[in-house]
Amino acid sequence: MASERAIEISQPGLATTVQDRGRIRYYDLGIPQGGALDQYSAELANALVGNRDGEALLECTYLGPVLRAHGSLEVAVTGAPVPVKVNGEERPQWTRLALADGDELSFGYIGGGSRYFLAFSGGIDVPAVLGSRSTYLLGALGGFRGRKLEPGDVVPIGAPANPPPGDTVAEEHRPVFGPQQQVRVMLGLYDHRLTERGLANLTEQEWTLTPVADRAGLRYDGPGVEWRERVQPFGAGSDPSNIVDAGYAVGSIQIPGGTQPIILHRDAVSGGGYAMVATVISADMDVVARAAPGTKTRFVPVDLDTALVARKDRAQRLAAAISSLG
Amino acid sequence: MSAPQTLPAQARYTWGGDEFLFVEIAEEMSLPGNLRAMGIARALAAKSLDGVVDICPANASLLIRFDPDVVAPADLETTVRELETATQRQSSTVLSTRIIEVPVWYDDPYTREVGARFREGYHQDPSGNDLDYAARINDLDGAAEFIQRHHTNPWIVSMVGFVAGLPFLFQLVGRDKQLEVPKYLSPRTDTPKLTVGHGGCFACIYSVRGAGGYQMFGIAAAPIFDPAQKLADFADSMVFFRPGDVVKFTPVSEEEYRAIEAEVAAGTFRYRIVPVEFDTERAVADPEAYNATLLEVLRGK
């Protein structure tokens, strides 16, 4: 038993799930993309232990797990700043750590952000479902038995690959987990349904992330917005923020009732009847994923060309961080 | 009551960030709008364009996910606009689809219990239940008449989404016969699996247990999402419904519901499914007469 490569969960933490790059091509069936919420941090965790990018790892939310190594394993912890402990002794984050058979890995309180990632050399070895090992909780699909980890779970780890020569991600390549964020968005979808003042509130005022934030969506508090008054189209519903149910872009922002904007993230429902007025650009989805409740946020409108440049820039930054490990 | 209107000459194109193209066929719901969204989706799928990741037809719109590293957004938009024009010109209005009988236990104890738990602060009429409320605001005699109206005429799956495999359904009747109810004032945190819900003019079947804002009228007897793919009807896909499926709800008693439950547990349950050529022009021109022929197809006459 002990020679099998696995991790045994002593305490599961608040919401620890298996995630990878995500499950695409099933959105038309209502199955969300899922995947690690902060993909940049997740990919660097994989790179540190020599995994292919997109390998399955653990995503921990706020309160992390306590787990025990079966067999000798290498692990890297990236994402939100958190004290990492091996057998109670503090170890650094953003670096490759060796675990001997029976070693205990545990965590302190996070010092910003909301999610951190644990990649093990060889990856979490659960079956891929519809092309992904990500956990889709609502559908009880993928991941470890389609659910969050629970005490006593023994989670298999795959055969290790060769790790890179470098064992630490330099400071300059690590993301920032601060109390303030600028999130670039593209206006569109149903933004014409807001009044000028509503639109100005969205893009010029400050918004604060509420505690109502999870893998499906993040709800913000602020000055609210105004919807244009009008006769609602047949089938849409009576509130001016209602539309005839439509597909939801991942990253899109809806404002039910005009009060609190909600950013739909990787596990969000795939469609519904609330008007979306802007969409977080793909390069900044990781930024949103790093927000903790209370984070002051400004939504900065950009155009499509700017979004495409930002997308390339993010890819180049990630590639540079990975290649810096050698 | 207003008659269904003609569709706008051109759809509205807009971006959902740098990975989504959104095409709004019309602001309001109608069968022709829904069928056009499906038509463009099918035409785009047939092109197998590199960089197109997901094609999600919806009630009166279409959401396309793409990889801008593979296909330039402007090129994708040009292609979809061409397909939109071609779809408008198509003379054929026949959709090869299937008609499916879905057994429903209306006014069941499961949705009644959850409905009773979410009244004050959630519901427009905390004193009653969802069925009585829906009957009243549709000027019907009571729950029994509402249930009758709900299952007499068939529905078309106008969109799949929200959660895995959840169908939105649009009843194949004229606008003056459409059943309309608002969503809950605030969404519930619980909805029984397989609840038959209704919001706006749309019915739905909740594929999994979870949050929901639609009024609750009954519970479907057999699964519509089966990740383990145990039942024969799920051999090809863990999701049962596809856009364009025609659905006939059939009321069942508790006894019949329990019998179906046992068949599902034994792995022997099969839905009644009959292939059908759905003639959209006839469906729009005289829904009730056309529905009679659809139901004959289902009954094998």
pLDDT, one tens digit per residue, over B190-220 is 999 999 999 999 999 999 999 899 999 999 9
A203 touches chain B (CB under 8 A): no
Structure confidence by residue, pLDDT tens digits, B47-101: 999 999 999 999 999 999 999 999 999 999 999 999 999 998 876 789 999 999 9
**Sheet bearing A66-70, strands edge to edge:** A89-91, A84-86, A104-107, A66-70, A6-11, A154-156
Going by pLDDT thresholds of 50, 70 and 90, the confidence category of residue B5 is low
User: Exposed (0-12), middle (13-18) or buried (19+): which is A172, by Cβ within 10 Å?
Assistant: exposed
> Would you say A186 and A279 are in contact if contact means Cβ atoms under 8 Å apart?
yes
- Whether chain B has a CB inside 8 Å of the CB on A270: the answer is yes
Which chain B residue has its CA at the smallest distance from A279's CA? B17
Provide the shortest C-alpha distance from residue B181 to chain A (in Å).
8
Q: Does A247 touch chain B (CB under 8 A)?
A: yes
- Compute the residue count for chain B: 301
Option in A139, A186, A270 nearest B208 (CB)? A139
Contact pairs from chain A to chain B, CB under 8 Å: 180
pLDDT for B91 equals 66
- Closest partner residue to A282 (CB to CB) among B17, B29, B200 is B17
Alpha carbons B234 and A84: distance in angstroms, whole number = 45
Cα-based distances in Å from A124 to A8, A160, A226, B103:
12, 11, 46, 41
Which residues are CB-neighbours of B82 under 8 A, at least 6 positions away? none
What pLDDT is attached to residue B103? 98
Nearest Cα to Cα of residue A268 among A233, A303, A218, A312: A218
Residue B262 has pLDDT above 80, yes or no: yes
Nearest CA in chain A to B52: A25
Query: Could you report the per-residue pLDDT of A88-97, keeping only the tens digit for each?
Result: 999 999 999 9
Chain A residues with CB under 8 Å of B14 CB are 188-189
What was the pLDDT predicted at A239?
84
Judged by CB atoms closer than 8 Å, whether chains meet at A246 and B61 is answered as: yes
Q: Give the pLDDT band of residue A2 (cuts 50, 70, 90).
A: very low
SS3 (DSSP) at B151:
helix
DSSP state of B125: -
In one-letter notation, the amino acid at residue A28 is: D
Nearest-Cα distance to chain A for B164, in Å, is 4
Given this model, what pLDDT does residue B1 score? 37
Q: Do A249 and B17 touch (CB under 8 A)?
A: yes
Q: How far is CA A326 from the centre of its chain?
A: 26
Cβ–Cβ contact B49 with A under 8 A: no
Measured distance between the N- and C-terminal CA atoms of chain B, rounded to whole angstroms: 35
Residue A3's pLDDT band, with cuts at 50, 70 and 90, is: low
Contact B164 A30 (CB under 8 A): yes
What is the tens place of the pLDDT at every residue in A195-249? 999 999 999 999 999 999 999 999 999 999 999 999 999 998 888 889 999 999 9
Mutating which of B7, B12, B20, B185 best tests the A interface, going by the most A Cβ atoms within 10 A? B20
ipTM of the complex model: 0.97
Q: Which two tokens stand for residue B143?
A: 């729950």
- According to DSSP, the β-strands at B155-160 and A6-11 are unpaired
Instruction: Write the residue in A25, A237, A307 that is nearest to B53 by C-beta.
Output: A25
The predicted-structure confidence for A125-165, as pLDDT tens digits, reads as follows 999 999 999 999 999 999 999 999 999 999 999 999 899 99
pTM for the model: 0.95
